[in-house]
Amino acid sequence: MIALTLDEIVVATAGVLHNSAGDLTVSGSVQTDSRMVTAGSIFVAKPGAETDGHLFAPIAVDQGAALLIVERLLDLPVPQIVVADAVLALGALASHVVAEVRSRGRLKVVGVTGSNGKTTTKNLLRAIFEGVGPTVAPRGSFNNEVGAPMTMLEVTDDTEFLVVEMGANGVGKIATLVKLARPDVGIVLTVGLAHAGEFGGIEATVTAKSEMVTELLPTDVAVLNIDDPRVAGMAGSTRARVQWFGLGSPNEVGVAFVRASDVRASRAGTSFTLHLASGEHFPVHFKVLGEHHVMNALAAAAAAESLGVAGAAIVAALESVERAERWRMEVLGGRDGVTIINDAYNASPDSMTAALKTLAQIREPGQRTIAVLGEMAELGALAGEEHDRIGLLTVRLNISQQVVVGPAARRMHISTINEGSWDSESAYVDTQDEAFTLLCSIVKPGDTVLVKSSNSAGLRFLGDRLGEFFS
């Protein structure tokens, strides 16, 4: 974090200072986890669903915390700022820091949201911007009212690019993050059924995701997916200049300024021609597996170009990225030609469909494909029919073998066998251990195995286990 006096932090957080240390200036990291505190850190005692951060404040002090932001005064011998709400104070402090750095430097802020692809796009943006100047981007999926401010607080006076991933579980959440970060560029990737149960339906999801662009200024840029009608419709809700991205097929909106043509997917990645708004075009060999990730590459390219990054630098960065993220289309294995694709960090109907289509696309003549599928969580009332639909899709894509894991996903197995075109090609097991034993017995040399589920189903660990076994 940039150096701030206690008085500046008090004003930013609307708190009350206790145990004042005179003209103390703080410039250490800001942490909500006492285990991450180092000498000079600020520890924010955030109440949580399972425990209370105030209980860990003594540990933070022992670790060297210079300042505590708390909701009640603690009997500890360090300066403390008492605030009404620690999470709101964290966000306010982050907003103040970003505004300060922006006012005296070259900082540009990019916000990213969408039902799918946020983390991949964030990683691609980091790769692009790091080739140009000092960049801050989230670790993992830091995209909520705590994670996004934590990322923002990492900026320094030297930072030129800040990427903020913005997720939400309801209307109003993204608007809050946008007001904190004030992006120069706001990206909306997709609006799908991911978390639809939490939002209360697809229309509420549209409203929530559109908050990314409704707060943008006329001098800002809204990077919108022209191929998603729900996202394209957001153009009428923003004052910002719209930069379209898409796969190039004309529709009622027009043609994307940043687009891909000649898209070809293989086990080695996806190749395509990148067309930029400048009129330049470049061949790209994108190592990230899956044609659907081309859309994330286009979004990143559109945002970077709008901030003045040269086309050649964009392409070099895209080609340098080896994988989307841990447990996202991660290629493992290799022994006897067996490929394990571990894509079990998140799953929605859209991302499940995209992963299965990739599995079918990269199959070479004579090769078998195996889909190991678990629950798609947070779908609410849509869960049953969406699991049914995925079960039918595996048949229609001619996937060689399906293994469904866990009671919450069992409807995929039932709908598959009810389709009538398969006999033993679909199997159901209750546990990961059963799945591992079964797969070790049925996987043959040359097979490609996709492991896909929501994070809560935990199949990413099964994917790792298979990857190690077949390495």
Tell me what pLDDT residue 422 has: 57
16 and 35 inside one domain? yes
Q: Is residue 246 part of a domain?
A: yes
**Has 179 been labeled as part of a binding site?**
no
Instruction: Clarify whether residues 139 and 33 are in a common domain.
Output: no
Question: Is 452 annotated among the ligand-binding residues?
Answer: no
Cα 12 from Cα 87, distance rounded (Å) = 13
pLDDT of residue 134: 97
Do the domain assignments include residue 89? no
Contact 304, 291 (CB under 8 A): no
CA nearest to 327, candidates 190, 466, 167, 452: 452
111 is in an annotated binding site: no
36 lies in the same domain as 113: no
285 and 392 fall within a common domain: no
pTM, two decimal places: 0.87
Structure tokens at 394: 């595996």
- Same domain? For 212 and 339 the reply is no
Task: Report if residue 219 sits inside a domain.
Answer: yes
Q: Which run of H or of E encompasses 324?
A: none
334 and 316 in one domain? no
* Domain total in the chain: 3
In this prediction, residue 326 carries a pLDDT of: 78
Token pair, residue 88, equals 């709101």
CATH number at residue 442: 3.90.190.20
| Backbone phi, psi, residue 189, to 5° | -85, -60
Question: Within this chain, do residues 267 and 396 fall inside the same structural domain, yes or no?
Answer: no
Based on the domain organization, do 114 and 62 belong to the same domain? no
Q: Is 117 annotated as a binding residue?
A: yes
- Quick check: helix, strand or coil at residue 76? coil
End-of-domain residue from the set 290, 320, 350: 320
pLDDT value of position 423: 61
Distances (CA, A) of 223 to 243, 245, 320: 5, 7, 23
> Can you give the CATH number for the domain in which 309 is found?
3.40.1190.10
State how beta strands 67-70 and 80-82 pair.
Answer: parallel
- Check residue 140 and give its pLDDT: 73
114 is in an annotated binding site: yes
Considering the domain architecture, whether residues 152 and 211 belong to the same structural domain is answered as yes
Domain range for 348: 330-469
Q: Which residue, of 267, 299, 320, is where some domain finishes?
A: 320
Q: Largest Cα–Cα distance in the chain?
A: 77
**Domain for residue 91, yes or no?**
no
Residue 361 falls inside a structural domain: yes
Whether 100 is covered by a domain: the verdict is no
Give mean pLDDT in consecutive 10-residue pieces for the chain, a chain of 471 residues. 95 96 89 95 91 95 97 96 97 98 94 91 96 92 89 96 89 93 97 61 85 94 95 95 86 81 89 96 93 93 98 97 81 92 90 94 91 92 92 93 96 87 81 97 96 94 96 90
Q: What is the CATH number of the domain that holds 80?
A: 3.40.1390.10
Q: What interhelical angle do 6-13 and 86-104 show, nearest 10?
A: 120
Cβ of 76: how many Cβ atoms within 10 Å?
17
At residue 200, the pLDDT reads: 59
Query: Angle of helix 118-130 relative to helix 311-320, nearest 10 degrees?
Result: 120
Same domain, 176 and 299: yes
Do 109 and 246 lie in one domain? The reply is yes
Q: What is the pLDDT of residues 295-348, one digit of tens each?
A: 999 999 999 999 999 999 999 999 999 887 777 889 898 899 999 999 998 888
| 438, part of any domain | yes
313 and 364, same domain (yes or no):
no
Asked if the structure places residue 98 within a domain, the reply is no
